């Protein structure tokens, strides 16, 4: 029997009102709005509200949402103490997954209804940056920096991580990065979140599972791998031979290719521009090297496999974050700072969708290709008789 739907590519498993991708045209829509419009005119907080509540907020709604986010930024001191017991070289994604999951143990919380889930969503969106920034300070042996209620979500994270308030340009660039990463339909981590939520597990549990899925290098982990690649390449003249060698071995070039887009990923378009602008300012080589990685991979892919390939969201975010002085292994956790909004929206939709068809517990079928000893099944052999 032939296995169908490997990797569930192209299989529609649920209705969603949250986002949509046109893979042929290279468009990404959040709740009806093109991300190009949002990235130009909105803020991360406003976009987060849109993704969660299905509408752009009024001024009063946005002020209220912001106030709730700001109030929820603190994480328990005990949690920060516990972080101190971790190995300093632990992967920040492992740390993030563990402490997001641990949030459920610090508060006596209601999880069962929709309103409670929105509160959890706000709590998560507000606390994930604090968890990451705290870990960064702790592993570097630096004093912790409390959240600053006067700063935006983007600026506050950079402030808590570095101890310095970013200038307006850096804040805007980072805010745009957060908008671009906030949701992306049924990607691996969001589908994980929805799958866990479909069992009626709670928001923190489903989100920590999603963090695990995001950590892999074929998903969110790709941006960290891209920066490692750029650092390994070091010079623009080495790009061609480096990429050729890897592609001839059958390796994948991180930051290139996408399961849905068959053209330029719109997020890569924006990130490429932002990275280029920042490189003008910092005079660092990383943008130019990345651009050469892009053109070389496209050229070699055509020559070797006769196929088109385009950059995805991770290609240019890597150099951008590097020039923003963000440690390389925080690239993927930063993805989570933003994507947690999408996870939360999808978890709420999965659990509380009112319109038919309502989501059901995910339970796909597998094709069994294992041991077969005949219709009666294999006979158990006692341990001492086994060879």
Ligand X SMILES: CC(C)(COP(=O)(O)OP(=O)(O)OC[C@H]1O[C@@H](n2cnc3c(N)ncnc32)[C@H](O)[C@@H]1OP(=O)(O)O)[C@@H](O)C(=O)NCCC(=O)NCCS
Residue at token pair 């949690």: 79
Phi, psi torsion values for 20, nearest 5 degrees: -150, 145
Which residues in 267-296 contact ligand X (CB under 6 A)? Answer: none
CB of 216 to ligand X, least distance (A): 9
**Residues that contact ligand X, how many (by CB under 6 A):** 17
Q: Which stretch binds ligand X (CB under 6 A): 95-103, 117-125, 312-320, 335-343?
A: 312-320
Q: Which stretch binds ligand X (CB under 6 A): 65-73, 279-287, 302-310, 357-365?
A: 302-310
78, 94, 165, 341 from 143: Cα distances, Å:
15, 22, 16, 28
Q: Are 93 and 332 in contact (CB under 8 A)?
A: yes
Number of other CB atoms surrounding residue 81 within 10 Å = 10
**Cβ distance to ligand X smaller for residue 165 or 252:** 252
**Cβ distance to ligand X smaller for residue 131 or 253:** 253
CB of 303 to ligand X, least distance (A): 12
Q: How far is Cα 46 from Cα 51, in angstroms, rounded to an integer?
A: 9
* Adjacency order of strands within the sheet including 33-34: 19-22, 27-30, 33-34
Beta-strand pair 33-34/19-22: unpaired
**Cβ distance to ligand X smaller for residue 38 or 309:** 309
DSSP 134-201: HHHHHHTT-------TTS-HHHHHHHHHHSSPPPHHHHHHHHHHHHHHS--SS-HHHHHHHHHHTTT-
Which residues in 225-264 contact ligand X (CB under 6 A)? Answer: 247, 252-259
CB of 53 to ligand X, least distance (A): 27
CB of 302 to ligand X, least distance (A): 11
**Cβ distance to ligand X smaller for residue 45 or 314:** 314
Task: Out of 46, 171, 314, 350, name the contact with ligand X by CB under 6 A.
Answer: 314
Tokens representing 375? 């219709």
**Cβ distance to ligand X smaller for residue 155 or 256:** 256
Q: Which stretch binds ligand X (CB under 6 A): 54-62, 149-157, 269-277, 301-309?
A: 301-309
Q: Does 313 help bind ligand X (rule: CB under 6 A)?
A: yes
DSSP 167-183: PHHHHHHHHHHHHHHS-
Closest to 147 in 3D by CA, of 292, 196, 132: 132
Tokens representing 105? 């143990």
Number of other CB atoms surrounding residue 209 within 10 Å = 21
Tokens representing 203? 């928001």
From residue 180 to residue 219, the character string flagging contacts with ligand X as x (rule: CB under 6 A) and all else as - is: --------------------------------------x-
* In the complex, residue closest to ligand X by CB: 257
Question: What burial letters (b/e) apply to 8-29, b meaning 16+ CB within 10 Å?
Answer: eeeeeebebebbebeeeebebb
**Cβ distance to ligand X smaller for residue 27 or 252:** 252
CB of 110 to ligand X, least distance (A): 35
Q: How far is Cα 112 from Cα 64, in angstroms, rounded to an integer?
A: 23
Q: Which stretch binds ligand X (CB under 6 A): 13-21, 98-106, 161-169, 303-311?
A: 303-311
**Cβ distance to ligand X smaller for residue 70 or 313:** 313
CB of 214 to ligand X, least distance (A): 10
**Cβ distance to ligand X smaller for residue 48 or 256:** 256
CB of 246 to ligand X, least distance (A): 8
Residues with catalytic function: 219, 258, 314
CB of 312 to ligand X, least distance (A): 4
Q: How far is Cα 387 from Cα 132, in angstroms, rounded to an integer?
A: 51
Binding site for ligand X (CB under 6 A): 218, 222, 247, 252-259, 305, 307, 309, 312-314
């Amino acid at each position: 029997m032939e296995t169908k739907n490997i990797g569930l590519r192209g299989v529609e498993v649920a209705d969603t009102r949250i986002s949509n991708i046109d893979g042929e045209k290279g468009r990404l829509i959040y709740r009806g709005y093109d991300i190009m419009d949002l990235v130009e005119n909105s803020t991360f907080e406003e976009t987060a509200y849109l993704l969660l509540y299905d509408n752009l907020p009024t001024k009063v709604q946005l002020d209220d949402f912001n106030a709730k986010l700001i109030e929820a930024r603190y994480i328990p001191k005990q949690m920060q103490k516990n972080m101190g017991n971790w190995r300093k070289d632990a992967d920040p994604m492992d740390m993030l997954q563990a402490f997001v999951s641990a949030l459920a143990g610090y508060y006596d919380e209601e999880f069962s209804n929709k309103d409670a889930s929105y509160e959890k969503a706000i709590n998560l969106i507000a606390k994930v940056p604090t968890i990451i920034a705290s870990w960064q300070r702790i592993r570097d042996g630096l004093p912790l920096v409390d959240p600053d209620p006067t700063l935006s979500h983007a600026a506050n994270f950079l402030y808590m991580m570095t101890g310095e308030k970013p200038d307006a340009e850096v804040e805007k660039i980072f805010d745009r990065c957060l908008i671009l990463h906030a949701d992306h339909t049924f990607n691996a981590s969001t589908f994980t979140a929805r799958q866990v939520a479909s069992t009626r597990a709670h928001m923190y549990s489903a989100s920590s599972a999603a963090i695990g899925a995001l950590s892999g290098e074929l998903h969110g982990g790709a941006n960290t791998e891209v920066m490692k690649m750029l650092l390994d390449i070091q010079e623009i003249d080495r790009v061609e031979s480096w990429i050729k060698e890897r592609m001839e071995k059958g390796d994948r070039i991180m930051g290139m290719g996408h399961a849905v887009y068959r053209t330029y990923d719109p997020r890569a378009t924006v990130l490429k521009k932002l990275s280029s602008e920042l490189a003008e300012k910092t005079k660092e080589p990383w943008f130019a090297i990345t651009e050469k990685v892009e053109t070389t991979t496209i050229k070699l892919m055509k020559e070797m496999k006769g196929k088109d390939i385009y950059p995805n969201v991770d290609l240019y975010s890597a150099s951008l974050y590097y020039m923003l002085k963000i440690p390389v292994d925080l690239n993927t956790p930063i993805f989570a700072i933003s994507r947690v909004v999408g996870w939360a929206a999808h978890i709420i939709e999965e659990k509380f969708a009112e319109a038919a068809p309502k989501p059901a517990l995910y339970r796909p079928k597998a094709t069994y290709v294992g041991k077969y000893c005949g219709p009666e099944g294999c006979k158990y052999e006692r341990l001492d008789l086994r060879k």
